[in-house]
Amino acid sequence: MTDTVLIVGAGPVGLTMALELARYQVPVRLIDKMTKRGDTSRAIAIWPRTLELLNRAGASAELIALGNKVTAANIIAGSEPMARVQFDDVDTPYPFALMLPQSDTEAVLERHLERFSAPSELGVELITFTQDADGVTATLRHADGRVEAEKFGWLIACDGSHSPIRHSLGLSFEGGTMGTDWALGDFHMTGSPYPLNELFTYWHEDGPLIFFPMAPGRYRIIASLAPSNGAMPVPPSPEAFQAIVDRRGSRNIVLGDAVWTSTFRINERQISTYRAGRVFLAGDAAHVHSPAGGQGMNTGMQDAINLAWKLAMVCRGLSANPSLLDSYDTERRPVGAEVIATAGRLTKIATIHNPIAQHIRNVVAHFALGLSPVQQALKGSMTEISIGYHDSPLNDTASGNSQAGKRMRPLDDEIPYGAGDAPRFTLRAGRASGEPTPALRSDLVDPAIRPAAHGAGIELVRPDGYLAVSAAARDWASIETYLDRLAKGSRPRPHDAALRHAG
């Protein structure tokens, strides 16, 4: 039996998964059948919560140095401003959306992975796999035709929306396809009505037109086309893009050279379970949705971060019960479902075609999006800082703890972790709490105690920065009880019954 983890797919999600496991000193192999990385921009938005989480592997500073910080999003209907959402007052060390081509994001993650001597292996394809109670046996084919079979402890499918692993497991990918075709283009551009740090959307009777500022004079443009009808359309010519911009946007905007153009259709689908025995699915392999809101890649990376510490605790034989792994599905599937629902709603609102309904939408949006609670809700969901695991089986419910599962803001002096990290819970405590009891020493908890953000009580924070327990001052017993429960495992392992062969 080996605890080496095989990660299939070295896109942003597979890279994040490998980086997290490698810094927790779990042996990994990250393979991808592509022989060369793509150089197109694809996902260009990285949201604050993702930056908070990637900072623990030391990757955020380099990403930020390469990207463009966007601090506001505007919606315009005709020539009338409808709404403005600002990110610069969000309570995070990263109060902005970072615009960075996916190819650059992948290059940064790859460089960080190399620090842990675990680079991705390109030109290696997973052909088949079988699993049993001890592990997963995978057959891999190299680009030169060489075939190898190896046994791994676990298999993680980061193999994208067409996931061969999902197909092998026979897992359904429920959902459908939205009925409109879309065009996107990365253009050199002049005449933007907004500064470089603001993105803007036009709601027009023909459909929406969105501008993402990527770098000085360079923008990602997305526009809806006609209703889907048969084959995927070819991307519009630069002249056709300019005509769309003139009609739906502003005649002051002048498009220059196109760096990349493409068309796409929106699928909204989610897998029925994120775990099948020793196989986990993450990223586009588990959920796909509208790019409205730019959450796809971010959601996948956060899947990886949620799973990595749990798997690391189990692989390293720390005193956490393996049933901990079941919480990956319990926690991340509802998040995926919510992202699909929200992105779908935003897309439907933006693509309303009936002129009367458009008028009503504009009036309602102008009013509602000016309300502070609506603004806060929108900010929380776009920046992903409102994501939490409030119904998680990992939450301490014994002490009537209603805050458990919430995101914990990183501490201002938090430094990135490095090689040799263990996946550990951290303690934050007020002065009045004194020292922890000797019985609390556990290989699951970092011995250093940080100051509590609120009051004098004790907070136990998960390795992925969510609150596990909030206890009263000096109530170290609640923390002990929680860790004891984690070691014993309080729930059955439904996925064990789902172990089966695939390939």
Ligand X SMILES: Cc1cc2nc3c(=O)[nH]c(=O)nc-3n(C[C@H](O)[C@H](O)[C@H](O)COP(=O)(O)OP(=O)(O)OC[C@H]3O[C@@H](n4cnc5c(N)ncnc54)[C@H](O)[C@@H]3O)c2cc1C
Residues making contact with ligand X (CB under 6 A): 8-14, 31-34, 42-45, 102, 125-126, 158-160, 164, 184, 262, 264, 283-284, 291, 294-298, 300
> What's the closest the beta carbon of residue 183 comes to ligand X, in angstroms?
10
> What's the closest the beta carbon of residue 251 comes to ligand X, in angstroms?
27
> What's the closest the beta carbon of residue 388 comes to ligand X, in angstroms?
20
- Nearest CB to ligand X, comparing residues 9 and 436: 9
249 close to 125: Cβ distance less than 8 angstroms = no
CB atoms within 10 A of CB 388: 19
491 close to 323: Cβ distance less than 8 angstroms = yes
> What's the closest the beta carbon of residue 163 comes to ligand X, in angstroms?
7
- Nearest CB to ligand X, comparing residues 284 and 459: 284
> What's the closest the beta carbon of residue 159 comes to ligand X, in angstroms?
4
- Nearest CB to ligand X, comparing residues 158 and 305: 158
- Nearest CB to ligand X, comparing residues 44 and 64: 44
Token duo for residue 288: 């796909």
> What's the closest the beta carbon of residue 125 comes to ligand X, in angstroms?
4
> What's the closest the beta carbon of residue 40 comes to ligand X, in angstroms?
8
> What's the closest the beta carbon of residue 272 comes to ligand X, in angstroms?
18
257: exposed, middle or buried (C-beta count within 10 Å: 0-12, 13-18, 19+)? exposed
> What's the closest the beta carbon of residue 297 comes to ligand X, in angstroms?
3
- Nearest CB to ligand X, comparing residues 244 and 445: 244
* Run of H or E including 359: helix 355-368
Strand, coil or helix: 174 = strand
- Nearest CB to ligand X, comparing residues 264 and 481: 264
493: exposed, middle or buried (C-beta count within 10 Å: 0-12, 13-18, 19+)? middle
How would you classify the pairing of strands 72-77 and 198-203?
Answer: parallel
Instruction: Report DSSP letters for 236-267, one per residue.
Output: PPHHHHHHHHHHHS-TT-EEEEEEEEEEEEEE
Give the total residue count for the chain.
503
- Nearest CB to ligand X, comparing residues 92 and 105: 105
Q: How many angstroms separate the CA atoms of 223 and 202, rounded?
A: 10
Query: Which residue, among 393, 251, 409, 246, has the nearest Cα to 325 in the 3D structure?
Result: 393
- Nearest CB to ligand X, comparing residues 263 and 403: 263
177 close to 269: Cβ distance less than 8 angstroms = no
Token duo for residue 367: 């009013």
Token duo for residue 304: 């990886």
51 close to 409: Cβ distance less than 8 angstroms = no
CB atoms within 10 A of CB 254: 15
Instruction: Note the maximum CA span of the chain.
Output: 72
- Nearest CB to ligand X, comparing residues 351 and 426: 351
- Nearest CB to ligand X, comparing residues 8 and 346: 8
Cβ-based neighbours of 344, under 8 Å, separated by 6 or more: 178, 268, 289, 290
> What's the closest the beta carbon of residue 475 comes to ligand X, in angstroms?
40
